Structure 1
Amino acid sequence: MATQGNTNLSKGIPQIKDAFVIIIKTEWNAHLVDKLEEGCINVLLQNNVKYRSISVPGAVEIPYAIKTYAESTQQSADAFITLGTVIRGGTPHFEYVCNMVTDGILSLNLCLKIPIIFGVLTVNSEEEVIERTGGIHGHKGEEAAITAIKMIALTRSLK
């Protein structure tokens, strides 16, 4: 579980030029995911990073959208940011969805040549999402954008 003040993530954000990020966000729980996206976009804009948002129905569809975009003739991305919420219910469906999306994103992270940032919140309640979109646990959308910028800089430095 995240704790307040457990990161120095926002310190030392590198300046990068000509970066383009694809945000893949879910339509499911849109009232919550939109807050993640808002924080993410604010950080990208503050750091002069161009972006495009693409919506998918749910978290399970995120890896497919990433793979399809990466194989397309669309503008090449420097990173993908995934945004969504999976909230525990009363059935095992939660575990299946969480496993599918995390395994899919991990697999793509290991085979694509650009970073994929995991910004899908897997939580027990809507309240926990609120705590992570500007509440006591920070803003995970902002953190995803900062992570993307840092990973783009790292990737460029290793080429």
Structure 2
Amino acid sequence: MTTSDRADVNEYGGALRGDGLRLAVVCSRFNELVTDRLLAGALDGLIRHGVDPASVTVAWVPGAFEVPLAAAQLAASGEVDAVICVGAVIRGATGHYEHVAGQCAAGVQRAQLDTGVPVVFGVLTTETTEQALERAGGKGGNKGFEAATAAIEMVDLLRQLPKRSQG
């Protein structure tokens, strides 16, 4: 579909305008070498897009498995416009990785669907620490920064979209 084909289509898109937003970042302490960098990237992304640092809440949780609970509570609080989740699940020698990564992703998704508040998944799931570091400010960029910009964009988009009618 070309631009001219969409002339009569209602089209929505979120903008990266962070001024006036209240945001939270839930950060896993486990694999802190990586998660510190993801948090720094998320905060940088928020501030670069106009979010007042005083309007940002950071909640530290023990590990990725605990991320969804804190994210859901923050999203349901009415105190934030979006929640950004950052963490790092790195494969080890046991099957623990699949359980933690899968349940963390499912819980984050459930939190946003249950609350209607954007809850963005910026939790890395990698095979090695080196891969995680590449995605936390190395040659793969910073997924914390990307999650922050996704949160800002989703808040703006949801404000534009038609609301569900009561009834």
What is the TM-score when the length of structure 1 is the normalising length? 0.85
Tell me, yes or no, if structure 1 residue 108 matches structure 2 residue 111.
Answer: yes
Q: CA RMSD in A?
A: 1.6
How many residues in Structure 1 have an aligned counterpart in Structure 2? 146
CA shift for structure 1 position 117:
0.4
Gaps of 5+ in 1: 1-11
Q: Which has the larger radius of gyration?
A: 2
CA distance in 1, matches of 2:153, 2:132: 24
CA contact (8 A) 1:115 1:152 kept: yes
CA distance in 1, matches of 2:42, 2:85: 10
The percent of aligned pairs where both chains have the same amino acid is 37
2:24 is matched with 22
Aligned with 2:101: secondary structure?
helix
Q: Where does structure 1 differ by over 6 angstroms across 4 or more consecutive aligned residues?
A: none
Task: Give the alignment of 1:1-159 within 5 angstroms.
Answer: 13-49=15-51, 50-72=55-77, 76-158=79-161, 159=163
Gaps of 5+ in 2: 1-13
What is the TM-score when the length of structure 2 is the normalising length? 0.82
Which residue type is aligned with residue 56 of structure 1?
V
Which residue type is aligned with residue 49 of structure 2?
N
